[in-house]
Structure formats: structure tokens, C-alpha cells
Amino acid sequence: MDWDDYQAVLFDLDGVITPTAEVHMRAWAAMFNAFLDERGVDAPYTDQDYFDHVDGKPRYDGVRDFLASRDITLPEGTPDDTGHADEPATVCGLGNRKNDAFGQVLRDEGVEAYPGSLALMAQLRASGMRMAIVSSSKNAPDVLAAAGVADYFPVVVHGGIAAERGIPGKPAPDTYQEAARELGVPENTAVVVEDATSGVAAGAAGDFGLVIGVDRGVGADALLAAGADVVVADLAELVTEPTDGGPA
């Protein structure tokens, strides 16, 4: 990997920098299975549903796509809906109920960045590489702060910013393009790093210099099929070994 060929690296957050994808998975499962139980639906929500319908997407899009897979249609509702069982179910309400569950787990358990991701981030910062976070989650700033890595990323394009600016979410490339613009680099000089097929597809849909897939469970074949140029199991694989006996 010759990082000198590029000017910036645009990272997804959950599952790439931090293992919060696992927290998201647990929160989605708890919310959806409670909802399905309330409606008397026998087909439970599974981890495969997460990868097929939810992973990497803006929250309400994930709710909508999963419900469609079960032939369930709900009113859209408003972002003020709480999703409590005593309220009429809406897409926004279910998304907010999931977000409450995620926030509680984050507060209770905290989060640490993957060691391999930290090693790569440290190497890239030492070399002067520009870095940004591009996350569908509105929780991205809180996760970065909880993991103690916020200072690595002067630009964070998260779901809240995308909604405010009217930017389409993944799998559209627009949030990654926005991050490249904010960093002041041409799109084709930026590397996209993603663990979700929707995020990889977003990178492939743009004119980015390289799309790296990180296989945290979705499968290398799925990431390659979505448009990844290369797939790794951990970002430690992309840390450049020193050639002179000194630090990388």
C-alpha cells in the first residue's frame, strides 16, 4: 500500500474505526424483535437482516428497508416520535427507539477503537494525511469522543449533517464527496474505507482513488461484489512496515 499516491482517507466509523457496529447490531435486534413480537410476527429479526437491510444506511432508511422485507408498511411519522409501545408505530419512531437503546449501551459500556485502526490512523497522521469520518449515524461525534479519537478527524460528515444539508445517504456517494470537498482534496485522490456493502457501493459510485473493504462479518465476496478494490480483515494489514529500523 503506497499511501503517497493519495491525499486523504475517508473512513466509515462503526465497524471500521470502532466496534460500535456490534452495539448497533444489538440495539437493532432488541428494537425490531420487540416490535415484531408486539405485532405477532413469527419471523424474527436476525443478524443477516442487519447486513441485508440496515448496515451502513441512514437510520430511517434501515427501518424502512427491513419493514419492506417483512411486507410491513408504516406511516413515516416525524423525528419527534419516541417509538414507545403506547404510541402508533412509525418509521421514525422505531428508528428513535433503536437510537435510545444504542445510546444506553454506549453510556453503560463505552467503546474503544480497534488497535489496528489506531495504528493506521497514527501512521497516517504522522505522515500528514488528511482524514475524515463519513458515517450514516448521527451518533458519530459521541462515539468518536467516547473512543478518544475525535482529534484525528477535523471533518466529520454524519447522518445529522447529511439530513441538514439535504445530502443523500449511502449507498449514494454524496456524503463521501462532501467530506472530500470539506478536506479540500480532489475526489480521485481520496481513499474510502468501509465495512458495509452500502458504504462500499457509495465509494464505488464516486470517482474515488481507491475503495477498501474491511470484512467484519459481511464477507469478502460481498464487499468485492459491492465494488471494493481490495478487502482486508483488519486495518493493521495496511500499516506500512518501517524500512530503516525506525518507527513506521
Enzyme catalytic residues: 12, 14
Residue 20: strand, helix, or coil: helix
β partners of residue 191: 9, 210
What is the secondary structure of 224-236 as a DSSP string?
HHHT-SEEESSGG
Residue with cell 494525511: 129
H helical segments located in the chain: 20-39, 47-49, 59-69, 91-109, 115-126, 140-147, 159-165, 174-183, 197-205, 220-226
Q: Do residues 125 and 149 make contact, with C-beta atoms less than 8 angstroms apart?
A: no
b/e code 134-168 from CB counts within 10 Å (16+ = b): bbbbbbbbbbbebbebbebbebbbbbbbbeeeeee
Question: What cell does 155 get?
Answer: 471533518
- DSSP assignment of 161-177, as one string? HHHHHT---TTSSHHHH
- Local structure of 19: helix, strand or coil: coil
All residues at 6 or more sequence positions from 60 whose CB lies less than 8 Å from its CB, including other chains: 76, 91, 92, 95
Residue 40 φ then ψ, to 5°: 70, 30
